[in-house]
Structure 1
Amino acid sequence: MSGLNRKTIFKLVNDLVMTILMLVAMAYYITGNMVHEFVGVVVLSLFIIHNFLNRRWYKAIFKGKYNVRRVIQIGINLLFLVTMALMIISAVLISSDLFPYIPIDNDMTLRQIHVQTAYWGFIIMSIHIGLSWAMVIGSVRRMTGITGPSRIRTIMLRVLAVLIVAYGVRSSFEGDMGSKLFFYNPFGWSYDNSTLWFLIDHLSIMGIYICGTHYALEFVQNQEKRGGRKNKSENLIQA
């Protein structure tokens, strides 16, 4: 793990565990309510740690220059923060096992908020990861000792990305993800497959948004670089 300090490694592990546990928390009809609520508390703790470790980002929001990438990143991060806050607050209010003594007369609206913010949080979290995917890949390279580029490795990884996205699209349609984002089902969304396939399906759906965000950012950055070079060349010609 040369090239990475302990804080960076801790941040990566914290984010990885939080991502996996968020997926576990979404498997409500597989795990049951008690496990769901306990995992939710752990996710909340990891989310607080995540924000504490990245507190400098909040201090720098109004500093420096704004490009397309930074505007998108700020918007997605703040939207993720609001979504998580709504999901957590509604979770505590409708809790029946860990926080059963909070009096709520009609919790249908709160349940709707909790379920739909959970699914939107899942998508926004994936985009959030996609925004930092280049940094994740760089950290993995340093941890594994990979230094130089490899055309074969690049082709293999891109083929893998295409396969993940293709399977993710299939899983999105089979799991009726669109309805889960825009419509509330008071009877709950059941899942017929095993826990392993639940994780595979939802990881592949995450892959759609991670890959889409990552390559969209690469395209935008390449366009900005070309625009910068073009402007520089025009200035030189005029001079």
Structure 2
Amino acid sequence: MNRKMLFRLVNDLVMTVLMLIAMAYYITGNMIHEVVGVVVLVLFIVHNLLNRRWYKAILKGKHNVRRILQIGINLLFLVTMVLMMMSAVLISSDLFPFIPINNDMVLRQIHVQTAYWGFIIMAVHIGFSWVMIINSVRRMTGITSTSCIRTIGLRFLAVFIVAYGVHSSFEEDMGYKLFIYSPFGWFNDDSTIRFLINHLSIMGIYICGTHYALKFIQRQEQRAVQKI
């Protein structure tokens, strides 16, 4: 693996972990939340700069179902992150207190809603790149051969993560967080470890779902080509 690819993976991994930490507002407190948010903003900018060629190629080449969906998700993720970061700066009370905002209830709601939706969209975004991530990990670890036992084990693990993720979704009230008005966010008495495990498993639902949905779409397209 070349250094540029390794840097991309590390940047994206750190950004993902920090986004999870930023969501744990009632565990970290406001100051840490804002500092982590600024770091996430920097890493997100770096992520987009490293992938700037993707934006130039949006209108080029063949647009099959997978690519259209990927473009839509990526642009939606970009808009969500921009709204979340802009609202964060405007309602900041520790790092940017000098910005005068008289009534910040609407901005707080935008920030909270885009944070939770951004979390889901981020997981779908990762799902689109899951094959590339797995292949990169294989190259890093030197795994080149296939193994039926390893494949079965990983699939059982994926099923367990998704099942626990569904349980965690109800436990964390994700439906309410995504759709119900709450300008101050949602209080949760989870421990730090439990919070991370629950939210990682919720991410697993959308990563696995996206990955296998794309596999299904690819098979359908291949069958359609064979029939021609």
TM-score by length of 1: 0.94
Unaligned runs of 5+ in 2: none
Question: Which SS does the other structure have where 2:190 is aligned?
Answer: coil
Question: Which SS does the other structure have where 1:137 is aligned?
Answer: helix
Structure 1 residue ranges (4+ consecutive) displaced by more than 3 angstroms after TM superposition? none
Max Rg structure: 1
Q: 2:124 aligns with which of 119, 123, 127?
A: 127
Q: What is the correspondence of 1:1-239 to structure 2 with a 5 Å cutoff?
A: 4-231=1-228
Question: Which SS does the other structure have where 1:214 is aligned?
Answer: helix
For 2:221 and 2:201, the matched residues in 1 are separated by: 30
- AA paired with 1:194? S
Q: 1:189-233 CA distances to partner (integer Å, 9 max, x unpaired)? A: 1111211110000000000000000000001001111111221xx
For 2:185 and 2:196, the matched residues in 1 are separated by: 18
For 1:127 and 1:105, the matched residues in 2 are separated by: 36
Question: Which SS does the other structure have where 2:188 is aligned?
Answer: coil
For 1:123 and 1:187, the matched residues in 2 are separated by: 19
Aligned equivalent of 1:236? none
Q: Is this contact kept in 2: 1:126–1:207, CA < 8 A?
A: yes
Q: CA RMSD in A?
A: 0.7
Give the deviation of 1:187 after TM superposition: 4.5
Q: 1:119-168 CA distances to partner (integer Å, 9 max, x unpaired)? A: 00000000000000011011011111111211111100000000000000
For 1:188 and 1:181, the matched residues in 2 are separated by: 11
Q: Is this contact kept in 2: 1:115–1:184, CA < 8 A?
A: no
Question: Which SS does the other structure have where 2:76 is aligned?
Answer: helix
Question: Which SS does the other structure have where 1:155 is aligned?
Answer: helix
- AA paired with 1:37? E
For 1:48 and 1:188, the matched residues in 2 are separated by: 25
- AA paired with 2:15? M
Q: 1:46-102 CA distances to partner (integer Å, 9 max, x unpaired)? A: 000000000000000010000010000000000000000000000000000000000
Between the two proteins, the alignment pairs up a number of residues equal to 228
Q: Percent identity?
A: 77
For 1:63 and 1:207, the matched residues in 2 are separated by: 31
For 1:28 and 1:98, the matched residues in 2 are separated by: 15
Question: Which SS does the other structure have where 2:74 is aligned?
Answer: helix
For 1:14 and 1:73, the matched residues in 2 are separated by: 20
- AA paired with 1:110? L
Unaligned runs of 5+ in 1: 232-239
For 2:218 and 2:184, the matched residues in 1 are separated by: 45
For 1:123 and 1:183, the matched residues in 2 are separated by: 16
